[in-house]
Amino acid sequence: MLKVNFLSDFLKFRKFIGVNGALIAVETQAKVMQKYVKVLFNNYGKEYDLVHSHGCFPYTFRILKKGIKLKKPIVISAHQTHYDTDSSFIFSKQISLFFKIYIIRYYKHGDV
């Protein structure tokens, strides 16, 4: 059976960020996927066939880079954009530029 390493910062930091729409979507999709494949969550090991990333934050990026080293196929379905940080807090416009560069770099790692 295919083993999918399902990456999500929302699952890791649930107790800090609380329940939100993105977390519910990630959990729902994982439940549906478990009917067809074995789902591993935020696995840093080697025992998976495919990486499916739902976030682009540093925790999942670290695991994603490990998957790249192991030459695992990468699927990215994160929905973050640099506009998510625009005008949401002090200095957000300045940070938005760096976030845009980071996101572009992250998304380029995806095979699909």
CA dihedral 82, 12, 14, 58 (to 10 degrees): -20
Q: CA end-to-end span of the chain, whole Å? A: 21
Cβ atoms of residues 56 and 46 within 8 Å = no
Query: Where do the domains of the chain lie?
Result: 3-81
pLDDT (0 to 100) of residue 69:
94
Full-model pTM: 0.76
Q: What digits encode the pLDDT tens for the residues 24-46?
A: 777 888 889 899 999 998 898 89
Amino acid at 93: K
CA distances from 16 to 2, 42, 68, 96, 108 (A): 32, 17, 28, 23, 29
